[in-house]
Homo-oligomer: A and B are copies of this chain.
Amino acid sequence: MSDQATHDRGATAQRILVDAAALFRRLGYERTTTREISEALGIRKASLYHHVSSKEDLLYEICLAALRDVEVGAQEAVAAAGDDPQDRLRAMVHGHTLAMLANVNFSHTMLTDMRSLSGERLQQVVALRDRYETWAEGLIAAGQKAGVVKSKHSAKQLTLGLFNMLNWTMFWYRADGDLTPDEVAELLGGIYFDGVFTG
């Protein structure tokens, strides 16, 4: 998790977020109890509330941190990639994947348990996600305009396909698995950009 993510939080509050995200990924937000979170931290359940105002607050902070980290990771990679539309798209996939997998517990929680947020907070998280996806759609549209991305489908539809390819990864990625984050990015980008068929 970036320092930026937590620059205004105490060290304990930050540990709570990290431990909670690990539990949320494993058990799901609704199934995880505040008692389990406190036990992971070695304190009593009531002590949590000195640092956090509610369980839903934890979810909210995790969603914001996850979205911000991926957005920053992808956009910095693209900014460093120069002007070539294909290079920019490859950089987006690489930056997105590395940021997502560096904090896979956060990304997983955000994508699958976002629905447990209530009212305004849900709308805010959805709006942030939509803003990011619209930015990605712009990269694809630029590629189409330059003639390097196929135009059989709209940029909107190709963006749906892009996030299909990227998002599901958190369900099977393991830090101790066969593939490094770089290799995952290379695999997914290779398929998305060039396909699996020869010729």
Interface residue ranges, A against B (CB under 8 Å): 27-28, 30-31, 86, 112-113, 115-116, 140, 143, 147-150, 152-153, 157-158, 160-161, 163-169, 171-172, 179, 187-188, 190-199
Contact = CB atoms under 8 A, between A and B. Distances in A.
A150 B192 contact: no
A152 B31 CA distance: 41
B31 A116 contact: yes
Given A27-B115, A161-B187, 18 more contacts: A30-B30, A30-B31, A86-B197, A143-B197, A147-B198, A150-B196, A150-B197, A157-B179, A158-B196, A161-B191, A164-B165, A164-B167, A164-B169, A164-B188, A165-B165, A191-B195, A193-B196, A193-B197
A171 B167 CA distance: 11
Given A147-B198, A168-B167, A191 B190 contact: no
Contact of A148 (B86, B143, B169, B197): B197
Contacts of A28: 28, 30, 113, 115-116
Chain A contact residues: helix, strand, loop or mixed: helix
Count of chain copies: 2
A51 to B, nearest CB: 24
A195 B195 contact: yes
A160 B113 CA distance: 22
21 contacts: A28-B115, A28-B116, A31-B116, A112-B112, A143-B196, A143-B197, A148-B197, A148-B198, A149-B197, A149-B198, A153-B190, A157-B179, A158-B196, A160-B187, A161-B187, A163-B168, A164-B168, A165-B165, A165-B191, A192-B195, A193-B196
A169 B167 CA distance: 10
A161 B148 contact: no
